[in-house]
Amino acid sequence: MPPNPLIALVNGRVLGDHGPREGLAVLVRGKRIVAIVAHDDPRLADAQKHDLQGHLLLPGFIDVQVNGGGGLLFNDDPSVETLRGMAAAHRKFGSTGMLPTLITDTAEKMRAALQAVDDAIEQRVPGILGIHVEGPFLANARKGIHNADLFRQPDDEDVEALIAPHKGPVMLTLAPDQVPLPVIARLAGAGVVVVAGHTAATYATTRAALDAGVCGFTHLYNAMTPLASRDPGVVGAALDDPHSWCGLIVDGHHVHPAALRIAIAAKARGKCVLVTDAMPPVGSDHPNYVLNGQTIVMRDGICQNEAGVLAGSGLDMASAVRNAVQTLGLSLAEASRMASSYPAAWIGLDRTHGRMAAGYQADFAVMDDALVVQETWVAGVRYAVTA
């Protein structure tokens, strides 16, 4: 067999902009898509065929907020091996790319996490695209489960660590009411994907931060000032701004479905992104984990401490897509884009990831009619999903 054989994914329903289409084959060579062709294209004669058994073929999912999975928490051990285990756990649910997320921690832990992700990308760990640093530049009034004892303003060393050359995108969640505008502008100007979250900012403060370079919002509605008639808050600024992205946790617990539908209706198409905020129980048989010295328990998909504070989620991306279709009433095509092409655009990888088109990375989620993942492909390599 040649080193890079032409592979044809056949007998599937390829999800396009207007829904699933039959009679198509996807040609893959190495880690790239070569073409999407009719089932009788002559190139199939020389290709190694893979039968999709009538299942749906979607672009692989990209999750920009993943704290853990497979029983592993990134904060506990920011290493290549942790990242390898997290990525493997989430592949079972169609995630072919992720930003491992470091929750508020020390400066030393942040540097270790940045290095671990660079090393993982250098070693080509499947699915690791970049990093999301969520904190510690956050507001105590909207701390959520974060350890407020570690909150602070970024110093020059923090900024230099974040803007230094990295192997993939760096997303940073900060509170606009806690970080000076010149710092936001410097980070954004250097290519950091700066987003607002865990913030008590006013509408005016948030608007100024957007003008300075903030380009999105971490888990919209949660841990931020709400929309009110005379005080639009962070949520109002997010919905009012036509250019920014909003991460949505569609798990039925973090945000009411009606509020999610309102956000999707208010934002321009392409600006609402599905995220999981996943914690160690995803892809694991163990429902408990320890965060900041607190025991967190997952029950019915809800991760909480003893006081009932949400601590991330037990959501996976396949379930997020399913919920977007079944609970929010979105088309499968739109839910799929919210899990693939839209997040790719948010983190600047939309020319190589997140779409089913020639030249793009061969990342796929193969799902049955119940939208349960049957197999996942990352960079042209197939991973079978086992129960």
All residues at 6 or more sequence positions from 271 whose CB lies less than 8 Å from its CB, including other chains: 242, 243, 244, 245, 246, 342
> Is 299 annotated for ligand binding?
no
What is the 3-state secondary structure of the chain? CCCCCEEEEECCEEEECCEEECCEEEEEECCEEEEEEECCCHHHHHCEEEECCCCEEEECEEEEEECEECCEECCCCCCHHHHHHHHHHHHCCCEEEEEEEEECCCHHHHHHHHHHHHHHHHCCCCCECCEEEECCCCCHHHCCCCCHHHCCCCCHHHHHHHHCCCCCCEEEEECCCCCCHHHHHHHHHCCCEEEECCECCCHHHHHHHHHHCCCEECCCCCCECCCCCCCCHHHHHHHHCCCCEEEECCCCCCCCHHHHHHHHHHCCCCCEEECCCECCCCCCCCCEEEECCEEEEEECCEEECCCCCECCECCCHHHHHHHHHHCCCCCHHHHHHHCCHHHHHHCCCCCCCCCCCCCCECCEEEECCCCCEEEEEECCEEEECCC
Q: For residue 7, say whether it is annotated as part of any ligand binding site.
A: no
312 is in an annotated binding site: yes
- Cβ count near 306 (within 10 Å): 9
Known catalytic residues are 277
Number of Cβ atoms within 10 Å of the Cβ of 158: 20
Please tell me whether 353 is known to bind a ligand. no
The CA distance from 32 to 37, in Å, is: 15
Q: Is 90 annotated as a binding residue?
A: no
Q: Is 209 annotated as a binding residue?
A: no
Residue 18 marked ligand-binding: no
146 in a labelled binding site: no
- Cα atoms in the 13 Å half-sphere on the side-chain side of 237: 26
Binding-site residues for substrate sit at: 145, 222-223, 230, 254, 310-312
Binding-site residues sit at: 134, 145, 198, 219, 222-223, 230, 254, 310-312
Binding-site residues for Zn(2+) sit at: 134, 198, 219
